[in-house]
Structure 1
Amino acid sequence: MYWWFYSLETSPATDANAKIDSFKTYKISTIQKWLPFPYIDHVQLEREYSRKQSGNNYSSTLNVLEHELYEANIEDMTLKPIYWSGKTFTIRRSKWFYESENFIVPCDEVLERILEEKYLEFEAFVTADDENEEDCDIKPENESVRRASKKGFQVQEFKLGQPFEYMTGHFITGKHNKAWIHDTTIASQITKAIVHYVSKSHAVELPSYKFLRGINRFRMSAMQYNQQITLLNNEKEKYSVIIEMARVGESLALEKDCRFTPNHLVFVIHGIGQKMLEKKDRDIVVNTDQMRSIINRIHPDNKVMLLPVRWRTQLEMYSDGDNEKFDNLYKDITLQSIPMIREIMSDILLDILLYMSPSHSSLILETSVGELNRIYKLFKTNFPDFSGKVSFFGHSLGSIIAFDILCHQDIPPMSPKFANLRINSSEIPDWMPKPAIPVQNNPNFNLDFEVDNFFAVGSPIGVFVLLRGLKIIGGKNENTLKLYNTLLKSNSHEKLVTIACKRLFNISDFYDPISYRVEPLICRSFNEEPCAIESIKNETSNLAKGVNYLFKIKRNLTSSNSNLQSSNSRPQSPDENNDPHSIVQNLNNTGRVDYYLRNDSLLVNQYLNSINAHMSYWRNEDLLNFIIQNIYYT
């Protein structure tokens, strides 16, 4: 039985022009890190490949792997990401495998075809004696295979031919679905010649490499491997566990349709420093994979699709798209001293300077909106029946970008009776300061979808809003529209801004030096500390998580609603309202916006913790558990 594999690396470790004259040099000249496709993907790939071979209509591309994030092409046998630009990997369909140091490697198409032809040619010889493998003194790979044993089993040699003239092979009677390959070097030939002059009792051992035929043989060998390997999502797992998961996946796929059907979409928007992180293969794609892996572990039944948004790599500094021109000019104006520090300035701090520039700020927003709409369109193409909600996860500068995008969106009335409350920025009197972010949206900043939740993590939104002199009065709800209308008619001189999402969560690591609060800017009298996020270690089950969280929200809503019911029905300004929670409730129905992550370490040093705090969100289980709770349980 054939099986489909995908590579974990894009190219071999050696030079493609290096001389290949032995099996050892052949191994290092080819990709050595492979994993089998899950059973459901294998079935689809094999079906379309069979249709292609038989001349029937077939689909050359299929969406595969976790959450169908990658596209497999059976024409050029490649695998590449669907929603972002990234590395292109190789896929293989093979029946023969050999054991490498840490991986089971599927043979390439040419070697696999030669071995299969030779095996079918000598199949009667191989299956002639059904000898017990445990009683045989044939050793595994890289040890020795005797030409003849005391038990008298036979060896059938064969030549591989071009392009493997430097190797020969042999089968052994009774060794089903196995072959051994050895080199035809001078040393091997001398050893082989000596064999003919030595008795069977003093047989000389020939160095050889064992090949296995069929997926079952592959699994049996793979189970022996427990060494740590790095997967596409950079999560370390035992190789035997991966193979076991593939086996379990077969039975599940046979029982039901395992196709992933998301019911919630989360866009993950990165902050500063992506150019530097890409050099280290730790960019937003890897961070999103880390989040996805942790969420799947703590909430196995979730249907959340996380997609990275790479706005920095799509940014075009000039209208002609010549980014190299900008890079060259920036390099020319950079002094040659302290290169490491200047590289950090270029890769990290330049992003902040670009966003502080009015022209580049608009360019970044346009680029980000374009990328968001492009990804959403692709997502809807792949999942046309999707009717779930969409959320933003913005980190650092990414949260500022997401905030500005949401502030540019048009917020329609929630019901017809509030249609007359729509306020156009052109209707604001000339003597009043215009909002720094206009109420009416810029056509270039229009999203093709609505946003339900906005999770701002490690966010400096608070200080940006303060510097701009803005006042956030609410999100996408009827109370916000009432309040906006009231404040304008009351001749308020504040720059008002609304955010086009139902709920805003401003989440900080308590020791993150870049995070700032938002609640005091929403309501001046709000003096409570940020709300602590419960640790997942203190919760027993997914159901308990949801129930406990619902009770917390109910308590907040009850206290807020009791004050709201006692207040006048007319919309009040923040200064008139006695309950700060009711104002904050315009941005989040829980009555809170600011949250912080606990640090339960026995030894806490604020300054040491602050070093890694800003980049710790991607792997924080408490944060990711909190996000899933707010997506599903409210």
Structure 2
Amino acid sequence: METSSIQIEEPELVFDDRQNYNNTPNNQVNGTAITFEPLKPEKVRWFYKSDSKRWTKFDGFDSLNIEYRYRANFGNEEEASSLNGSYNYFVGLYTVVVRGGLYEVDLLKKKCTSIFWPGEEADIFRGVWFYDGYEPYEYGEEVEREHLNLFKDDTRKIETTEDNGKSVLKDVTFGDMHIVWYSFTEVYSFKQKTFINTKLMRSVTKKLGTYFQKSAGYKLIRSYKTDANEKDKLNDITHLVFLIHGIGHKIDNKKIIKNTSQFRDCVKWIKQKYFLGTEQRAEFFPVDWRSQCSFDGGLVEQITPLNLKNIRQILNSSAMDIMYYSSPVYGREIQNSLANELNRLHSEFVERHPHHHFKVSIMAHSLGSVISYDIITGWEPFIKRADNSSRIHLNFELENFFCLGSPLSVFLALRQNQIFKEDLDMFPMWLAKKVYNIYHPTDPVAYRFEPLVARDYCRYKPIGIQAYGIKWDYSEVGLELIDSNDLSGEDTTNPTESKTLDTKKENETFSRKLSTWLNMSSNNENKTNINQFENNTLPPSKNSTPVEALNHRLDYILRDSIGGSASNYLSMLYTHTSYWSNYDVAYFIYTRLFPELEKTVEDSLRSDKKIPNYNLQFEQGKKT
């Protein structure tokens, strides 16, 4: 269930104003004459805001596109005629494609909505006048109209750029705000109540009254601090990543959209901090498989007792998904829903961006990793497939398969007898070029992959994921024995030693065929090593490590940076849902998508990093 009341504060963002392409600030210089003219398109900046977040500026290219379309529809005829053919990202009379081709702005509705997936929507705003910190002023367009009317017929007013404290050129009220012009560059905004009080002060003495009035108001600045530039735009997408949710999305079918947005923000911060200037671009698409499934038509709700109603409703909306997927009736429906959505997103993206050359990866959380695996490998335990029935398949191949908090290995272990009673086609030779099993040490849903492939790996630690920003060659990490201290007093006896001979043979058969799937027998030498390893005839290797049977390591464990424990249920719930906001995960995945980029990272960059105090924030979250 992907819900959590604990929020991790994002690290301080690096200032990134990519609009500085030989631009000069738009601030007027005091004491000099200013030539009056309406604002040019590049002086205006458009913004978007979703939920309760602050306004975020569009890139310069997007802002210009929106402004040109705005002026063509709502400006004067002379202005509109001069803009025809300037830009080609208009898809309708009032719509513009923005944010790297993934969103669309509707000027009539004043909304920015996602193109490829439903449910993501943001308000848009035309920034003309700004507060001192360049937050857009809510009545900016009204102020601009008054400003133009005030100065267009009397240029002598423009010559005075300092307030002499003797006169107010104009004052006007919009909503609960009062705007006062002292000069061309001295424009202030006041809350209505504040303005009335300071106006009384001004009647005592003009000079002091003006001073007190200004100190009680907000100075407004005309036009954004830097010009919008058409070179300020996103590169083409070079890696498309589908984010697949697990259980619990019946409660909130927009949760995967929120999680994707959260992870996207983490990656954006990582890119700005460590990889600014790279031409590589990864985009993350949320994939919702749950909302398309009808299942039992409400029958489970009808048979649910009224006792412990709240808890039962939570279980019905979350854990019930596992039972649905295990059902021969609804398991196939879930697979179809996910496969259809993945193929739809991929096809629509290719149709809109036919010239993009990109790779595809999947990030799947919890049960989503099991469903994804089954679709790609063709696992169909639900039905006896007729000769003429079609197998579910995806229209693309995977570069990487990232599993987050995944129980996949448990499902595979429980299926092993069924798998190998069938033909080998039930377990294909490939899944993705690289598979990564990422989990938190206190995530109760996550299990390891490597001991399934090579059983002796149960004695060896998974690879530890380093803190974000540290350059680390994971391919060079050696095997490290699990120390008894690492088990926190738990029983260290290997339970497989008590298995019967038949069970041992079944496990070894499962390991051998799973190893084959991972291309670990690509040459005769590896094949010999695997056979010797399984027959216990291979002499011990250096440092008593197992045979190098894995083509690449599969298990990657995160730092326990929030101080969780197996006895803390709130901690366990949080860790299973914390991957989307974890900057270590974002850095690790981004550098796996583009492994060549990590060569540009220097360890010295870590000297000024600011890592959130996860432990302190988690303790504060528990108190609240």
TM-score strictly above 0.5: yes
Rounded Cα–Cα distance in structure 2 between residues aligned with 1:125 and 1:7:
38
Rounded Cα–Cα distance in structure 1 between residues aligned with 2:386 and 2:149:
74
Q: What residue number does 1:511 align with?
A: 442
CA shift in 2, pair 1:341/1:86, >3 Å: same
Contact 2:253 2:288 survives alignment (8 Å) = no
AA aligned opposite 2:334: I
For 1:313, what is the secondary structure of its paired residue? coil
Q: What residue number does 2:234 align with?
A: 259
Q: What residue number does 2:168 align with?
A: 155
Rounded Cα–Cα distance in structure 2 between residues aligned with 1:123 and 1:444:
76
1:105 aligns with 2:118: no
Q: What residue number does 1:370 align with?
A: 340
Contact 1:403 1:499 survives alignment (8 Å) = no
Q: What residue number does 1:6 align with?
A: 47
Q: Normalized against structure 2, the TM-score is what?
A: 0.64
Q: What residue number does 1:623 align with?
A: 585
Pairing partner for 2:223 from 195, 198, 215: 215
Q: What residue number does 2:24 align with?
A: none
1:35 aligns with 2:61: no
1:593 aligns with 2:554: yes
Rounded Cα–Cα distance in structure 2 between residues aligned with 1:46 and 1:317:
47
CA shift in 2, pair 1:530/1:391, >3 Å: farther
Rounded Cα–Cα distance in structure 1 between residues aligned with 2:171 and 2:474:
68
CA shift in 2, pair 1:621/1:528, >3 Å: farther
Could you list the per-position Cα deviations for residues 558-593 of structure 1 after superposition, in whole angstroms to 9, with x for gaps in the alignment? Answer: xx99995447799979967978989965xxx32x33
Rounded Cα–Cα distance in structure 1 between residues aligned with 2:248 and 2:363:
17
AA aligned opposite 1:306: F
Could you list the per-position Cα deviations for residues 139-188 of structure 1 after superposition, in whole angstroms to 9, with x for gaps in the alignment? Answer: xxxxxxxxxxxx5532233666xxx599875422x342625567599x95
1:274 aligns with 2:249: yes
Q: Normalized against structure 1, the TM-score is what?
A: 0.63
The share of aligned pairs that are identical, in percent, is: 25
CA shift in 2, pair 1:515/1:534, >3 Å: closer
Could you list the per-position Cα deviations for residues 240-280 of structure 1 after superposition, in whole angstroms to 9, with x for gaps in the alignment? Answer: xxxxxxx5xx69x57x5632222212111111112445688
1:466 aligns with 2:413: yes
AA aligned opposite 1:345: L
| Unmatched 5+ stretches in structure 1 | 12-31, 137-150, 220-246, 319-325, 410-424, 426-433, 474-483, 555-559
For 2:329, what is the secondary structure of its paired residue? helix
Pairing partner for 1:613 from 575, 578, 591: 575
Bigger shift: residues 373-382 or 46-55: 46-55
Rounded Cα–Cα distance in structure 2 between residues aligned with 1:382 and 1:605:
47
Q: What residue number does 1:130 align with?
A: 161
Contact 2:463 2:477 survives alignment (8 Å) = no
* Structure 1 residue 78: Cα displacement: 1.8
For 1:359, what is the secondary structure of its paired residue? coil
AA aligned opposite 2:330: H
* Structure 1 residue 364: Cα displacement: 1.2
How many pairs are equivalent? 491
| Unmatched 5+ stretches in structure 2 | 1-38, 480-518, 539-544, 597-624
Q: What residue number does 1:29 align with?
A: none
AA aligned opposite 1:46: E
Contact 2:199 2:209 survives alignment (8 Å) = no
Contact 1:266 1:390 survives alignment (8 Å) = yes
Q: What residue number does 2:181 align with?
A: 171
Contact 2:47 2:58 survives alignment (8 Å) = yes
Moved over 6 A (4+): 165-168, 190-196, 204-208, 279-282, 434-442, 560-563, 567-574, 576-583
Q: What residue number does 2:283 align with?
A: 305
Pairing partner for 1:452 from 394, 399, 420: 399
Higher relative contact order (CA 8 A, sep 6+): 2
CA shift in 2, pair 1:210/1:464, >3 Å: same
Q: What residue number does 1:395 align with?
A: 365
RMSD: 4.8
Q: What residue number does 2:121 align with?
A: 88
* Structure 1 residue 340: Cα displacement: 2.7
More strand as a share of residues: 1
AA aligned opposite 2:323: L
For 1:627, what is the secondary structure of its paired residue? helix
Rounded Cα–Cα distance in structure 2 between residues aligned with 1:165 and 1:563:
73
AA aligned opposite 2:283: M
For 2:369, what is the secondary structure of its paired residue? helix
Contact 2:376 2:393 survives alignment (8 Å) = no
